[in-house]
Chains A and B, each alone.
Chain A
Amino acid sequence: MAVQLEFLKGIPYFSGLGSVELESISKLIFEKAIDRAETVVFEGEPAAYLYFVASGAVKVFKTSAEGKEQILSIVRPGESFNDVPIFDGGPNPASARAMGPVLLYGVKRNDMETIFRNHPPIALNVINVLARRVRQLVSLVEDLSFRHVISRVARILFEHVGGEVGRGPRLTQQEMAAMAGTAREVVGRSLKALEEEGAIKLDRHRIIITDKEALQKIMGVPS
């Protein structure tokens, strides 16, 4: 299947370019289909390609020494990943894995340079994209380095527990994130951390508080 010009038009990197320019760029783009759970970019390895998601979704994540995953972003159609190492020549700062069947549009590093040389206005678009990315990562860093997020999540669970008579309000990770003033990705990790500490148990759509005292301790309440 040929690279869709219509689709390229909608990619922020190429916004404002005309059909003739996109046509010439499309010749340097290749398609790559990947399956669910396939890792397309490995943290620490040299970067050869810049990718745009054409369909499906990709998660970009880092793995800690203990094997814990922290999602940095979810890349959706039209968005790119692996840009940073393509531009600075360093290794991949994070890994990227398909969340389902995914179609990617890839560009070789050298070809990206050619595209820049032939179509200088793209530089402004790219600056925009990267600036937005920096903004998103800065707020994630703030959240991650702020140790109190776990205790805030613990408090939210404690305050929303259902009573004996009726069910309490049900909360999504998105809602907990809004309440804790953090990103959804950080809530996911906090819940896992609380489970590892033995304070809660995740049982499908239920969060069971298994050790009230441990949870209160994490909340900072003396028991």
Chain B
Amino acid sequence: MIEMPIIDVQKCDGCGLCIGVCRCNALAIIDRIVTIIESMECDWCTDCEGVCRTGAISCPFEIIMQES
């Protein structure tokens, strides 16, 4: 399983802006609700998060220390 941006369906108003900005077709509206499709091509550009007005989509980062 590959990590993907997270959607809060309660907050999503189905405007579709995130779908338009995503380069890898990882987002789609199914039954008026935005749905994420696993895609290796998603490079975590965070454009979907940046464009969403309602804060319904988020691209959280995991912060790790490199083993020395």
Contact = CB atoms under 8 A, between A and B. Distances in A.
A88 B58 CA distance: 38
A35 to B, nearest CB: 11
B22 to A, nearest CB: 7
Contacts of B21: 56-57, 99-100
Contact of A204 (B3, B50, B63): B3
A168 B51 CA distance: 26
Interface stretch (A24-32, A110-118, A136-144, A170-178): A170-178
A208 B20 contact: no
A12 B60 CA distance: 33
Contacts of B30: none
B65 A209 contact: yes
Interface of A: 36, 55-57, 74, 76-77, 99-102, 157, 160-162, 167-168, 170-175, 184, 188, 201-202, 204-210, 212
Given A56-B20, A74-B51, 14 more contacts: A57-B51, A74-B50, A100-B20, A100-B22, A101-B20, A161-B65, A168-B62, A172-B59, A172-B61, A173-B46, A207-B61, A207-B62, A209-B66, A210-B66
